[in-house]
A and B are shown apart, each in its own frame.
Chain A
Amino acid sequence: MVLERSDGRDCWKTRRTIINVGSIGTAYGSALVRRGKTTIVCGVKGELANSRPENPGDGFLVVNLDLPPLCCPLFKPGPPSEQSQSISQFLNDIVTSSGCVVLSDLSIEGQLVWCLFVDIICLEYDGNVIDAAVLAMLAALTNTKLPKITVSNDNGEIKVSEALEILAVKSQPVTTTFVYQQDGGHVMVDPSFEEEYDAAGILSITLQEDGSLVKLYKPGGLQLPDSVLEQCIAKARSLSKDMWHLLKTVSETVET
């Protein structure tokens, strides 16, 4: 039985994804991702800092997601909600687990290291913010250009040059999110707002290009049999291939 969803897709089809990079001049790297109607913008800014004594030579990478009241009438103005905090933590975990940016690459000289802030803002919320945020973060990081820093030996003066070098991103962990409903346990990929709202449970699978599983995220929800889980991982593998292809194409179009 072929199941058709409210927007005409079948269970295993994702919405149209559009990525745009480098639009924001004030940030070192930026990306805008549109998945269906969900719109996410990401900006990467860098500051110089001294590394921690217990991890000398390791830079810092901090990811933060913001869900402002602009994106959906459900969100009220005020301090970051639980949802935005938990997704921020999810993104930070992916960065650490996958090693997409090696922290020792961010060191400049001696104690001086880069501290990168990846700020993600959701502009329109139509479900599945996690996938779009991960894509935006990857697109922004792959196209981040940091200025070359030289420290003069005599007086320790820090010089920021105009020349830019691209940040080395070792891998690209891509997330695929599934939801399943109460009744028959139909699993659907890339949920829209209504589907996410009515779901009995959510499942996010993060994979890397070499095929390894970076993170499996199933926050509570209705129990899922093993067979369905394996099926989801297999589907995630094939869908992630499309995302890697998309990211590569976008990066190639960026003029160095």
Chain B
Amino acid sequence: MAGLELLSDQGFRLDGRRPHELRKIECRMGVFAQADGSAYIEQGNTKVLAAVYGPHEMRGSKSRGLHHKVLINCQYSMATFSTGERKRRPRGDRKSQEMTLHLKQTFEAAIMTQLYPRSQIDIFVEVLQADGGNYSTCVNAATLALVDAGIPLKDYVCACTTGFVNDTPMVDISFVEESLGGPQLTVAVLPKSEQIVLLEMASRLHVDYLNKVLKTAVKGCKDVYVILDEVVRNHVAQIASSVGSE
């Protein structure tokens, strides 16, 4: 698409944000009663639901259970109406399977798995509307759902996708910014220690710029953490007050 400038001369992006600004994040915990933990998050126009079941007994083949840690079973699914063009296969196509794998690897590093041997934790993520940064929003939603389910975590897991245009890293890119090409770095971080749990990079980026982009991405994740933490604290305060003051 000619004429679309990802970064204008005044330093504004297509939707009027500055390069280091995140999209508006709205989230809610405990949306479902059936699931042990659930969360709904809206990051700009990307809407994601996460539900967590567990820890519970191994379902299916017991031989898949691990004797020293919990088995984490993830499923990433996109609603057929979530993308601009109708998605024929909501799950099972290669990109979804890759996302499922990444989610599993991310949460295996963040959940204290050694506390529940021979058990299973299910994490289901459903994308209702996709507008860029699908994986990052899914990770944030799943973190909230895990906190809602009361599963012990080493730390929050916050993720953020960063693009790079005109020597400027742009945080939390939308679908339009993603599809116009250019390098994209997705990073999932444990915010307190700034440790990287998962790092994905696509398209070409020169080695010299890596440090800059990485630093901006980690800073973006820490901003997400601040928002998530506030939501969790409000939710807990609300629940505690409704349970009773005995």
Contact = CB atoms under 8 A, between A and B. Distances in A.
**A interface residue count range (under 10 / 10 to 19 / 20 to 34 / 35 or more):** 20 to 34
A72 B34 contact: yes
Nearest to B79: A121
B118 interface: no
Contacts of A45: 80-81, 86
A39 B75 CA distance: 19
Interface string B21-57: 0000000000011110000000001010101010010
A66 interface: yes
A242 to B, nearest CB: 24
Contacts of B34: 37, 71-73, 124-126
B59 A76 contact: yes
B90 interface: yes
B126 A123 contact: yes
B52 to A, nearest CB: 10
Interface stretch (A20-28, A203-211, A226-234, A247-255): A20-28
B135 interface: no
Interface in A43-58: 43-45, 47
A41 B81 CA distance: 11
Interface in A23-43: 23-27, 30, 37, 39, 41, 43
Nearest to B77: A68
Residues of B contacting A: mostly: loop
A70 B35 contact: yes
Contacts of B35: 70, 124
A77 interface: yes
A43 B77 CA distance: 15
A147 interface: no
Nearest to B123: A70
A26 B122 CA distance: 28
B129 interface: yes
B107 interface: no
A117 B126 contact: no
A229 to B, nearest CB: 32
Contacts of B130: 26
Nearest to B52: A70
Given A69-B122, A73-B53, A126-B33, A25 B128 contact: no
A24 B22 CA distance: 21
Contacts of B122: 69
Contacts of A117: 80-81, 86
Given A72-B34, A124-B32, A77 B83 contact: no
A123 B81 contact: no
Contacts of B33: 37, 124, 126
Contact of B47 (A24, A44, A124): A24
A45 B122 CA distance: 30
Interface string A100-133: 0000000000000000010101011110000000
Contacts of B225: none
Nearest to A42: B81
A147 B75 CA distance: 34
B49 A123 contact: yes
A24 B81 contact: yes
A30 B81 contact: yes
Contact of B129 (A24, A44, A123): A24
B97 interface: no
Contacts of B51: 70-71
A23 B32 CA distance: 19
28 contacts: A24-B47, A24-B81, A24-B82, A24-B128, A25-B129, A26-B81, A26-B84, A26-B129, A26-B131, A27-B81, A41-B79, A41-B128, A43-B79, A43-B82, A44-B81, A47-B86, A64-B80, A66-B90, A68-B124, A71-B51, A73-B56, A76-B59, A76-B60, A117-B81, A123-B32, A123-B126, A124-B32, A124-B35
Given A45-B81, A66-B90, 8 more contacts: A25-B131, A43-B79, A43-B81, A70-B35, A72-B34, A119-B80, A119-B81, A123-B32
